[in-house]
């Protein structure tokens, strides 16, 4: 999953996807789908984020690869 906070960051979105493609190729991972989303990491009501969570809970998702841990969501420390 790749995430940026605004549409102006399209190049960063592409950079994240390319980094994940290289990682998956190096690890021998087969990617069924790519999810790229525009929105803030603190917003837990993002449509694609919620779909990923539901799929994981339902056992439909084996693995989730994110460009960086704060691309999925942000937690307060």
pLDDT per residue of the chain (77 residues) written in tens, 0 to 9: 565 556 667 788 888 889 989 999 999 998 888 887 776 555 566 788 788 889 889 999 888 888 777 656 655 55
Q: Which long-range contacts (CB under 8 A, 24 or more apart) does 9-18 make?
A: 9/38, 13/38, 16/67, 16/68, 16/71, 17/67
Per-residue tokens: 7: 């549409």
For position 24, what pLDDT does the model report? 92
For position 27, what pLDDT does the model report? 94
**CA 19/CA 45 separation, integer angstroms:** 26
For position 23, what pLDDT does the model report? 92
pTM (predicted TM-score): 0.66
């Amino acid at each position: 999953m790749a995430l940026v906070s605004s549409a102006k960051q399209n190049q960063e979105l592409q950079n994240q996807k390319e980094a994940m493609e290289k990682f998956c190729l190096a690890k021998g991972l087969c990617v069924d789908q790519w999810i790229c989303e525009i929105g803030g990491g603190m917003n837990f009501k993002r449509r694609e984020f919620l779909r990923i969570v539901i799929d994981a809970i339902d056992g439909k998702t084996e693995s989730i690869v994110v460009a960086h841990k704060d691309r999925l969501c942000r937690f307060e420390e």
